Amino acid sequence: RLLDLSLRNKLLNFKDNRLSIPLQSSEIILSKLEDALANQEGFLFKSIESIALKEVQRENEKNYIDHYVDECLARKILFSPLESSVLEKRLIEVYRASKTALEEGGANTLFLAVGFLEWKESERSKRIFKAPLLLIPVQITRETAKTGYKLFMYDDEPRFNSTLLQLLRQDFDLDILGLNPLPTDDAGVDVNQILHIIRKAVVSIPGWEVKTEAAIGQF
């Protein structure tokens, strides 16, 4: 009864804004990233603007970028589709907001949203909403101006978006099993299995789709 099931809730209607940072991702990247964060590894941020594409044919750019971003995970670098200047401003905003929330409220509100469900209120509806699936508690640190901002997992457990599960039960008579407890692999939760469970559950609902996207945001 305490859950906010209105479209004002970012857990049901997520929109990119100044307090969010979208990440360049794919299903392979999402799984590797969660494993690395679970192993207490930290990541620096870069814009995909910094990826040299001069010698890459236009039709091959997406595959090249995905491959390059995947390779850079091993070097502890995350890429965002945001322009460099916008990314820097958002990192500052997100860092300050999350630090203030932790100091004043005593609770971490910063999460890495892994995977999104695109959903509609009805088959005829033209409005499409995005709800995050897996929420990984994270923190952004800044040691010096030169080193920049770094992403780490916060000292808490990943969780599935319980507000979304309640909406699905209440409004769509859809009870998704297999997420409590979350499936695990050798390093943390099993991202691929979680995405598979949701895809299987919504496959017959017109206009609904699981997206292999990721974003850092305040929830």
The reported pLDDT for the residue numbered 97 is 94
The reported pLDDT for the residue numbered 78 is 97
How far apart, in whole angstroms, are the C-alpha atoms of residue 33 and residue 72?
Answer: 11
Show the low-confidence residues of the chain (pLDDT under 70).
Answer: none
Chain segment 20-53, per-residue pLDDT in tens: 999 999 989 999 999 999 999 999 999 999 998 8
Cβ-proximal residues to 182 (8 Å cutoff; 6+ apart), any chain: 134, 158, 159, 160, 189, 190, 194
* CB of 129 closer than 8 Å to CB of 118: yes
pTM: 0.94
